[in-house]
Amino acid sequence: RKEVEQDPGPFNVPEGATVAFNCTYSNSASQSFFWYRQDCRKEPKLLMSVYSSGNEDGRFTAQLNRASQYISLLIRDSKLSDSATYLCVVYDWGNKLVFGAGTILRVKS
For 15-28, b/e burial (b = at least 16 CB within 10 A) is eeeebebbbbbeee
Residues 88-107 binding another protein (CB under 8 A) are: 91, 93, 95-97, 99-102
Q: How far apart are CA 21 and CA 104, in angstroms?
A: 10
Q: How far apart are CA 22 and CA 80, in angstroms?
A: 21
18 binds another protein (CB under 8 A): no
53 binds another protein (CB under 8 A): no
Kindly tell me which of 29 and 109 has the beta carbon lying closer to another protein: 29
35 binds another protein (CB under 8 A): no
3-class secondary structure, 76: coil
Chain residues in the site for another protein (CB under 8 A): 4, 8, 31-32, 34, 36, 41-46, 49, 87, 91, 93, 95-97, 99-102
